[in-house]
C-alpha cells in the first residue's frame, strides 16, 4: 500500500518536461483511486497542490469572493480629506498594513481648471430629490441640490483640501462649550490641534492683498482683529518643520486667486502633500477611482477561499470587495452617511440617529456683480438663475479686454441649529438631505446689503435658503446610540446595548462634529481626526496582540507604499460581466432575483486538459455573484447578496454525463437576518436534449435561514423554482461586458453541446475499486441481557430485500440499516433469497445479449459510465440518484453484489404495473381484498425527488391502511432529495431516513405496551397532505422548438467565434 502512494512525495523542478509531468499526473490519480476511501471529488485540492510543486508559477489560486488574493489589510481608510488622510498617516507610521480608498482621481497642479470651460467640465450636478445627475462621477466639484438647498463637496485625492481657501482657524470656545460637544475631546484637544497645525504647515499671510485692504477699510471698527489670518498655503517665508517630509516640486503662492478651484502652482498644503505623502512613505497603499458602496461583517465559516478571515468586507461594487480587520469611514458627511445607510440595508445594526444632527455650518452665499471699487482680483464663474445674463455680459467684456471683471462671491458662516437631516431614499438608491434652521439668516442678508452699499454694484442673493460648502454632522459623536451614531473615539455604535460598538468600524471625518463651528472647520476636523487616530492605533495594537499576531512595534520597516488607480489596475476588461433576472416562486410565494455575475478569468491561462480529469470547469464559466432578491413574503426590504458563487458547468464525478449550473448565494436583510439560497440547474442528456431549454432556464432552489443563537427564532426552509424568460436571456446577452464575452458564450454553448448532443462524460472514475473495503470486519456489540424488572427488550426486526438489489447490508459503507438496528438493541434478521439459488445461473444466451444491447440504448434520465448500471437502468429505469450514493457502494453493487440480473419475475412485475396495485403471479387481486390480514402499524417512506415510483403510491397505501385499521399508527414521510432505492443505501440515509424508522418503531412499541397494560390505545390519525415529487421530466416547450433553438444558439456561437478579433 505504501508503494502505491509513495510518488506523492516526489518533487519536480520548474524546468521539468511538461509532457512527462502530465503523464505522471494521470498515473498518480489512478493510483490514488485505489487508495482513498472517499469520493474522487475530494482529490481536486490535492492535485492542485501537486501541480503547484511541478510549476511554481503555473497555477494561481482563484478567489471567488472577489477579494484580494493576499491576506487583506489590517485597516482600510475610506476617503482622503482632513479625516481620512490623518487616519491613514497615523496608521501607516505606526507600522499597520493600511490601504486608503478614494472615489476621485489624483489631481496634479496642471490638472486644475483655470478657465471657464475647464471649470464646467470639472463639475457634477446632482438633484437629490429626483436622482438626476449631470457630469462625470469623479468630477472635482460635486454640487448637490434639493428643494431650497445646495451643498458643494470636493472629489479627489485630498478631498476638500484641494479646493478650499486653506483658512485654518482654531475651534471657537462657543462651539466647544456646546452641550453636544464630547467632553472626552477636551483632554488632548490642544495637543491634537498643534499636531494638525504642524502637519498642515499653517502659515500667516505675509502681506495684505488689495482686496483685503479695501474690505478692512469698509468694515472699519465693526470688526477688530489684529492677528494675521493663517492659511495652509506655502508662502516661502516660514521654514517648514524639520521632522516633516516634504514632497518634491512644492511651489509658493503667486496670489492668483485660484485657491477655490485648486492651486495651479502647487503651493497649497493640501493633505496629499503632507499627511498622504507621509502615509505612502510609511507603506500605505492608495487606490484612487475607487468608490466604496457599503461594508458588511465577514460572514463566519462561509468564505473558505481565504487564508485568514478578516472581520470586515469593504465592497466596491456588487461583486468586488477588499477585506480588513478595521474600517475607517472618512468619505465626508454625504459619503460616510451614504455608506452607512447602504450597509444598514444589508443588516448592519446602526443607531436610529444616523443622518440626524446635520449642520451646514451656517453657510450662505451671495454674488456681487459690477463693483465700482477696484478690488484688483480677477474672478470667474458662470452664475445661475437671475444673475446669469449679467454675469454673461461681464464675462464677454472681460474676454475682449474692455474691462476687468469686478465681481465676487460672498460666503457667510455662522451658527445654525444643527437640526438638519440626511435620509436614504430606497426607491432611487440615493441619499437626500434637508438643511438645518438658520436663525442668523436675516443678519447675514443685512451684512451682505451693507457690503454692497459700500462696494457698489448689484447684489444677487442665492435662491437657495442654504448654500453650504462646510458640511458637518450626520454621524454625531455622543455618549450612546440613542443620541448619536459614534462614541467620542469614532467607534460606531451597535444597538445591542446603549454603549456597545461594532468592533473595528470607525468614523473619522466631519461627520463626527455634533454642532456648527461658526468659522472655517478644516482645522477642527483635522484635530478631531488626530484624537480618533490615537485611540484607533491603540485599538489595533491591542487587537493584534489578542489575536497572537505580530505586534506593531515588532514589525520590520516597510517599503514605501504606492498610489494607483483601481479603475485601471483592479477592474480587468478580461473578465466577463452580465446581469440576469429570474422570476418564480419559493415556498409558493413570488420571488424575483436580480443578479450581477462576474465570470472569473484569474486562472484561465493555467487551465488545460489536465483539469478535466477532476471534472473542473473552465474558469470563464465560474465566477462570483452580486445583486439582490425581492422576496417580500420573507423580508419587506430587499435581500442583498454579500457572498455569491456560480459555476455554469459544475460536474459531479458520480454523474459525469450531467451538467449542473450551481448558484450559492449568501443573502442579508436590513433586519440583520441572513439567508442561504442554493440553486441548481440540472441538465441531463435525456432524449437528446428535448427538454434542454427548460432544464437550462429553470433553477431548482432551496432557501434557508442562517441559524442564530436565539432559541425563539423561527427557522425558514423553503423550496421552489426560478425561471429566466427568453426576453430576460436576451437582456443578459445585451448587458454582457468584457473582452472575453465571445469566448464565454462559445464555451457555454460548447458545454451544452457536449452534454446534450455528444453526450461525452466529464471526469473519470473508471477502475475505482478499493479492495480493502470489501473485506471490512464488522464489530457488533452484543446487548446486555440484564434489564429492569418489567422492562421489555426491543422487538426483533425482519428485513426483506427487494427483487434485485441489496438494501440493508452494505459492507462498503460506515453504517447501514442492519448495524443501526443492532446498535439500538434490536434482534435483526435479514432474508436474502438470492443466497441459495435453486438453479445455477446460466450464461447469457443470444436473446439476453440482444436485450442487454437494447437496454444500453434505452433513454434514461441519468446515465452512468458503468456498463452494468447502464443495463440495469435500461431495463428497470433509474432506481436511485447517483449523487446520493458513494462511488465505493456503486462499484460494489454493480461488480460484486449483482453482476447478473434474474429475469424470471419480470412477467409478474409487468402485471402489477399494468393493474396499478399488487396482484399475484396470475394477475388476481389476492391481497387488497383481505385487509384484516394486515392489522399492524405501518410507515411509508417516499423520496421527494421523483424517480421510478411516485410519492402518490405511498400516499394511497397510507390512506388504505388508515381506512381499514384506524386504531394503529400509520405514518407517511417524504424525504427531500432522495429517489427510490437510495432511501436505504444513500450516503446520508443514516441521518435523514433511518431516524424516521427508529422513531416509528419506538412509538409503535410504546403504544403496544400501553394496550397490554390495560390502557386505552389511540390511533395516530394525523393529516397526510399529498406531497408530489419535484424534478419531474416534462415542460411546456415543444421538443421541436428546443432542437431548433439549440441549433440557432450553436450557429450564433460559431459566428461569434469566427469574428473574434
The rounded distance, in Å, linking the Cα atoms of 1054 and 765 is 32
Residue 641 and residue 542 share a domain:
no
Q: How many helices (H) and strands (E) does the chain have?
A: 27, 34
Percent of the chain with pLDDT over 90: 41
As a whole number, mean pLDDT of residues 542-569 equals 66
Residue 146 and residue 33 share a domain:
no
Whether residue 576 is contained in a domain is answered as no
1044 pLDDT band, cuts 50/70/90, is: low
Whether residue 674 is contained in a domain is answered as yes
Taking the CB of residue 512, how many other CB atoms lie within 10 A of it?
33
**Predicted local distance difference test score (pLDDT) of residue 708:** 76
End-to-end CA distance of the chain: give it in Å, rounded. 53
Q: Grid coordinates standing for 434?
A: 434637508
Whether residue 162 is contained in a domain is answered as yes
Residue 187 and residue 126 share a domain:
yes
| pLDDT at residue 15 greater than cutoff 70 | no
Q: Grid coordinates standing for 110?
A: 496642471
Task: Tell me the sheet residues that pair with 949.
Answer: 947
Please indicate whether residue 135 or residue 117 has the higher confidence score (pLDDT): 135
345-364 pLDDT per residue, tens: 999 999 999 999 999 999 88
| pLDDT at residue 18 greater than cutoff 80 | no
Q: What CA–CA distances, in Å, run from 227 to 35, 206, 782? A: 86, 11, 99
The rounded distance, in Å, linking the Cα atoms of 363 and 418 is 12
The rounded distance, in Å, linking the Cα atoms of 15 and 108 is 47
Q: How many CA atoms lie less than 13 Å away from 693 in the CB half-sphere?
A: 20
As a whole number, mean pLDDT of residues 1040-1046 equals 53
Query: For residues 484-511, b (16+ Cβ closer than 10 Å) or e, as one string?
Result: bbbbbbbbbbbeeeeeebbebbbbbbbb
Whether residue 65 is contained in a domain is answered as no
Residue 433 and residue 488 share a domain:
yes
User: Considering its fold, how many domains does the chain have in total?
Assistant: 4
Q: Would you put residue 166 in left (φ > 0), alpha (ψ -120 to 50) or beta?
A: left
Residue 304 and residue 256 share a domain:
yes
The rounded distance, in Å, linking the Cα atoms of 160 and 164 is 6
Task: Tell me the sheet residues that pair with 581.
Answer: 594
Q: Grid coordinates standing for 835?
A: 443466497
Tell me whether strands 970-975 and 938-943 are parallel, antiparallel or unpaired.
Answer: parallel
Site of grid cell 420573507: 634
Residue from 704, 722, 731 nearest 596 by CA = 731
The rounded distance, in Å, linking the Cα atoms of 111 and 434 is 33
Residue 138 and residue 85 share a domain:
yes
CB 1005 within 8 A of CB 791: no
Q: Name the DSSP class of 409.
A: E
Q: Specify the length of the chain in residues.
A: 1061
Q: Name the DSSP class of 937.
A: -
> Can you say whether the dihedral through the CA atoms of 440, 441, 446, 449 is positive or negative?
positive
Whether residue 413 is contained in a domain is answered as yes
| pLDDT at residue 112 greater than cutoff 70 | yes
CB 750 within 8 A of CB 621: no
Whether residue 1024 is contained in a domain is answered as no
| pLDDT at residue 531 greater than cutoff 60 | yes
The rounded distance, in Å, linking the Cα atoms of 568 and 289 is 9
**Predicted local distance difference test score (pLDDT) of residue 393:** 45
The rounded distance, in Å, linking the Cα atoms of 746 and 751 is 9
Q: How many CA atoms lie less than 13 Å away from 55 in the CB half-sphere?
A: 17
| pLDDT at residue 804 greater than cutoff 90 | no
Q: Name the DSSP class of 196.
A: H
Residue 781 and residue 648 share a domain:
no
Residue 743 and residue 613 share a domain:
yes
As a whole number, mean pLDDT of residues 390-419 equals 65
Percent of the chain with pLDDT over 70: 73
Per residue, what are the HEC states of 877-899? CCCCCHHHCCHHHHHHHHHHHCC
The rounded distance, in Å, linking the Cα atoms of 519 and 172 is 8
Residue 178 and residue 82 share a domain:
yes
Q: What CA–CA distances, in Å, run from 428 to 131, 333, 580? A: 6, 19, 20
Using N-to-C axis directions, what is the helix angle for 84-93 and 189-199, rounded to 10°?
A: 90
Taking the CB of residue 797, how many other CB atoms lie within 10 A of it?
18
Residue 782 and residue 864 share a domain:
yes
816-857 pLDDT per residue, tens: 999 999 998 889 998 876 544 555 556 777 877 888 888 888
Residue ending a domain, choose from 696, 731, 758? 758
**Pick from 232-246, 647-661, 667-681: least confident:** 232-246
Q: Name the DSSP class of 424.
A: E
**Predicted local distance difference test score (pLDDT) of residue 1015:** 53
CATH code: domain of residue 174: 3.50.50.60
The rounded distance, in Å, linking the Cα atoms of 65 and 626 is 10
Mean pLDDT of the chain: 79
Q: What CA–CA distances, in Å, run from 599 to 293, 573, 579, 607, 644? A: 21, 11, 11, 15, 12
Gyration radius of the chain over CA positions: 38
Which H/E stretch holds residue 649? strand 639-650
Residue from 959, 105, 986, 55 nearest 565 by CA = 105
Q: pTM score, two decimals?
A: 0.79
Please indicate whether residue 377 or residue 201 has the higher confidence score (pLDDT): 201
Range of the structural domain that residue 737 is part of: 583-687+705-758
Whether residue 149 is contained in a domain is answered as yes
225 pLDDT band, cuts 50/70/90, is: low
As a whole number, mean pLDDT of residues 661-665 equals 95
| pLDDT at residue 625 greater than cutoff 70 | yes
Residue 302 and residue 361 share a domain:
yes
Residue 87 and residue 42 share a domain:
no
Whether residue 67 is contained in a domain is answered as no
Q: Grid coordinates standing for 872?
A: 440495469
67 pLDDT band, cuts 50/70/90, is: very low
As a whole number, mean pLDDT of residues 495-524 equals 94
**Ranges 125-139, 389-403, 485-499, 826-840, most confident:** 485-499
As a whole number, mean pLDDT of residues 165-182 equals 94
Q: How many CA atoms lie less than 13 Å away from 856 in the CB half-sphere?
A: 9
The rounded distance, in Å, linking the Cα atoms of 865 and 685 is 13
Please indicate whether residue 243 or residue 265 has the higher confidence score (pLDDT): 265
Q: What is the side-by-side order of every strand in the sheet holding 408-412?
A: 408-412, 364-369, 458-461
Amino acid at each position: 500500500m505504501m508503494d502505491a502512494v509513495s510518488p506523492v512525495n516526489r518533487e519536480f523542478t520548474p524546468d521539468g518536461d511538461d509532457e512527462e509531468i502530465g503523464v505522471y499526473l494521470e498515473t498518480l490519480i489512478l493510483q490514488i483511486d485505489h487508495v482513498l476511501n472517499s469520493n474522487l471529488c475530494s482529490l481536486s485540492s490535492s492535485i492542485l497542490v501537486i501541480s503547484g510543486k511541478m510549476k511554481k508559477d503555473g497555477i494561481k489560486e482563484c478567489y471567488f469572493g472577489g477579494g484580494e488574493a493576499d491576506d487583506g489589510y489590517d485597516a482600510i481608510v475610506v476617503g482622503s480629506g482632513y479625516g481620512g488622510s490623518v487616519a491613514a498617516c497615523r496608521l501607516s507610521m505606526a507600522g499597520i498594513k493600511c490601504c486608503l480608498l478614494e472615489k476621485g482621481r489624483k489631481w496634479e497642479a496642471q490638472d486644475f481648471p483655470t478657465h471657464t470651460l475647464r471649470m464646467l467640465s470639472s463639475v457634477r450636478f446632482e438633484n437629490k430629490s429626483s436622482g438626476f445627475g449631470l457630469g462625470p462621477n469623479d468630477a472635482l466639484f460635486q454640487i448637490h441640490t434639493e428643494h431650497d438647498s445646495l451643498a458643494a463637496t470636493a472629489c479627489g485625492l485630498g478631498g476638500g483640501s484641494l479646493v478650499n481657501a486653506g483658512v485654518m482657524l482654531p475651534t471657537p470656545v462657543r462651539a466647544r462649550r456646546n452641550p453636544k460637544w464630547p467632553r472626552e475631546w477636551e483632554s488632548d484637544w490642544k495637543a491634537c490641534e498643534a499636531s494638525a497645525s504642524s502637519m498642515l504647515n499653517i502659515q500667516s499671510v505675509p502681506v495684505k492683498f488689495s482686496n483685503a485692504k479695501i474690505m478692512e477699510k469698509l468694515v472699519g471698527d465693526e470688526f477688530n482683529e489684529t492677528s494675521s489670518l493663517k492659511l495652509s498655503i506655502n508662502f516661502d517665508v516660514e521654514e517648514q518643520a524639520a521632522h516633516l517630509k516634504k514632497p518634491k516640486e512644492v511651489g509658493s503662492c503667486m496670489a492668483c486667486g485660484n485657491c477655490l478651484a485648486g492651486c495651479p502652482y502647487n503651493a497649497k498644503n493640501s493633505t496629499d502633500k503632507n499627511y498622504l505623502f507621509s502615509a505612502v512613505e510609511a507603506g500605505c497603499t492608495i487606490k484612487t477611482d475607487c468608490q466604496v458602496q457599503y461594508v458588511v461583517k465577514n460572514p463566519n465559516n462561509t468564505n473558505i477561499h481565504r487564508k485568514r478571515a478578516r472581520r470586515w468586507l469593504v465592497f466596491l461594487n456588487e461583486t468586488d470587495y477588499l477585506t480588513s480587520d478595521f474600517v475607517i469611514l472618512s468619505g465626508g458627511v454625504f459619503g460616510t452617511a451614504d455608506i452607512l445607510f447602504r450597509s444598514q440595508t444589508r443588516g448592519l445594526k446602526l443607531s436610529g440617529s444616523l443622518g440626524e444632527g446635520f449642520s451646514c455650518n451656517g453657510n450662505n452665499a451671495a454674488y456681487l456683480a459690477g463693483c465700482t471699487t477696484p478690488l484688483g482680483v480677477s474672478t470667474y464663474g458662470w452664475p445661475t438663475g437671475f444673475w446669469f445674463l449679467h454675469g454673461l455680459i461681464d464675462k464677454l467684456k472681460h474676454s475682449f479686454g474692455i474691462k476687468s471683471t469686478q465681481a465676487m462671491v460672498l460666503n457667510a458662516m455662522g451658527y445654525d441649529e444643527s437640526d438638519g437631516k440626511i435620509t436614504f431614499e430606497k426607491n432611487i438608491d440615493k441619499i437626500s438631505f434637508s438643511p438645518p434652521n438658520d436663525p442668523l439668516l436675516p443678519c447675514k442678508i443685512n451684512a451682505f446689503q451693507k457690503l454692497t452699499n459700500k462696494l457698489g454694484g448689484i447684489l444677487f442673493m442665492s435662491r437657495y435658503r442654504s448654500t453650504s460648502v462646510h458640511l458637518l454632522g450626520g454621524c454625531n459623536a455622543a455618549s450612546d446610540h440613542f443620541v448619536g451614531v459614534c462614541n467620542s473615539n469614532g467607534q460606531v455604535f451597535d444597538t445591542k446595548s446603549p454603549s456597545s460598538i461594532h468592533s473595528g468600524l470607525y468614523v473619522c471625518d466631519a461627520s463626527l462634529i455634533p454642532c456648527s463651528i461658526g468659522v472655517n472647520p478644516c482645522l477642527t476636523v483635522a484635530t478631531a481626526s488626530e484624537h480618533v487616530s490615537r485611540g484607533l492605533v491603540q485599538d489595533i495594537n491591542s487587537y493584534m496582540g489578542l489575536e497572537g499576531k505580530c505586534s506593531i512595534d515588532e514589525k520590520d520597516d516597510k517599503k514605501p507604499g504606492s498610489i494607483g488607480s483601481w479603475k485601471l489596475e483592479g477592474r480587468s476588461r478580461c473578465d466577463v460581466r452580465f446581469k440576469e433576472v429570474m422570476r418564480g416562486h419559493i415556498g409558493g410565494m413570488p420571488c424575483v432575483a436580480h443578479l450581477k455575475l462576474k465570470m472569473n478569468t484569474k486562472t484561465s491561462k493555467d487551465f488545460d486538459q489536465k483539469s478535466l480529469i477532476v471534472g473542473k470547469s473552465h474558469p470563464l464559466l465560474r465566477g462570483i455573484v452580486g445583486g439582490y432578491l425581492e422576496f417580500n413574503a420573507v423580508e419587506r426590504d430587499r435581500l442583498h447578496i454579500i457572498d455569491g458563487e456560480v459555476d455554469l458547468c459544475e460536474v459531479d464525478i458520480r454523474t459525469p454525463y450531467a451538467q449542473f449550473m450551481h448558484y450559492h448565494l449568501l443573502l442579508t436583510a436590513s433586519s440583520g437576518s441572513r439567508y442561504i439560497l442554493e440553486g441548481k440547474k440540472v441538465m441531463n442528456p435525456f432524449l437528446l436534449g428535448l427538454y434542454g431549454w427548460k432544464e437550462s432556464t429553470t433553477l431548482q432552489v432551496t432557501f434557508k435561514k442562517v441559524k442564530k443563537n436565539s432559541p425563539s427564532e423561527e427557522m425558514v426552509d423553503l423550496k421552489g423554482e426560478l425561471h429566466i424568460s427568453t426576453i430576460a436571456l436576451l437582456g443578459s446577452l445585451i448587458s454582457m461586458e468584457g473582452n472575453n464575452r465571445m469566448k464565454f458564450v462559445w464555451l457555454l454553448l460548447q458545454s451544452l453541446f457536449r452534454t446534450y448532443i455528444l453526450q461525452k462524460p466529464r471526469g473519470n472514475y473508471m477502475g475505482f475499486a478499493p479492495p480493502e473495503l470489501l473485506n471490512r470486519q464488522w464489530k457488533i456489540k452484543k446487548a446486555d441481557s440484564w434489564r429492569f424488572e418489567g422492562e421489555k427488550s426491543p422487538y426483533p426486526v425482519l428485513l426483506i430485500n427487494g427483487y434485485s438489489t441489496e438494501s440493508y447490508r452494505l459492507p462498503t459503507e460506515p453504517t447501514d440499516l442492519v448495524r443501526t438496528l443492532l446498535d439500538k438493541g434490536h434482534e435483526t434478521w435479514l432474508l436474502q433469497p438470492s443466497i441459495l439459488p435453486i438453479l445455477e445461473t446460466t450464461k447469457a444466451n443470444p436473446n439476453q445479449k440482444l436485450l442487454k444491447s437494447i437496454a444500453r440504448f434505452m433513454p434514461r434520465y441519468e446515465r452512468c459510465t458503468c456498463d452494468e448500471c447502464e443495463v440495469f437502468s435500461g431495463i428497470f429505469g433509474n432506481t436511485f440518484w447517483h449523487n446520493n450514493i458513494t462511488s465505493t457502494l456503486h462499484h460494489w453493487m454493480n461488480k460484486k453484489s449483482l453482476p447478473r440480473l434474474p429475469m424470471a419475475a419480470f412477467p409478474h412485475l409487468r402485471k402489477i404495473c399494468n393493474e396499478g396495485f399488487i396482484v399475484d403471479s396470475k394477475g388476481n387481486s389476492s391481497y387488497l381484498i383481505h385487509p384484516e390480514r394486515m392489522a399492524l402499524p405501518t410507515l411509508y417512506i417516499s423520496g421527494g425527488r421523483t424517480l421510478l415510483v411516485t410519492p402518490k403510491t405511498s400516499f394511497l397505501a397510507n390512506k388504505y391502511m388508515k381506512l381499514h385499521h384506524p386504531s394503529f399508527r400509520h405514518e407517511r414521510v417524504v424525504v427531500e432529495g432522495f429517489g427510490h432505492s437510495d432511501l436505504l443505501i444513500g450516503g446520508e440515509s443514516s441521518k435523514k431516513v433511518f431516524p424516521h424508522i427508529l422513531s416509528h418503531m419506538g412509538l409503535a412499541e410504546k403504544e403496544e405496551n400501553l394496550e397490554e397494560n390495560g390502557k386505552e390505545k389511540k390511533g395516530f390519525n394525523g393529516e397526510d397532505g399529498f406531497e408530489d415529487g419535484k424534478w419531474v421530466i416534462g415542460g411546456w416547450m415543444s421538443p421541436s422548438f428546443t432542437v431548433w433553438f439549440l441549433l440557432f444558439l450553436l450557429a450564433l456561437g460559431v459566428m461569434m467565434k469566427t469574428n473574434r478579433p
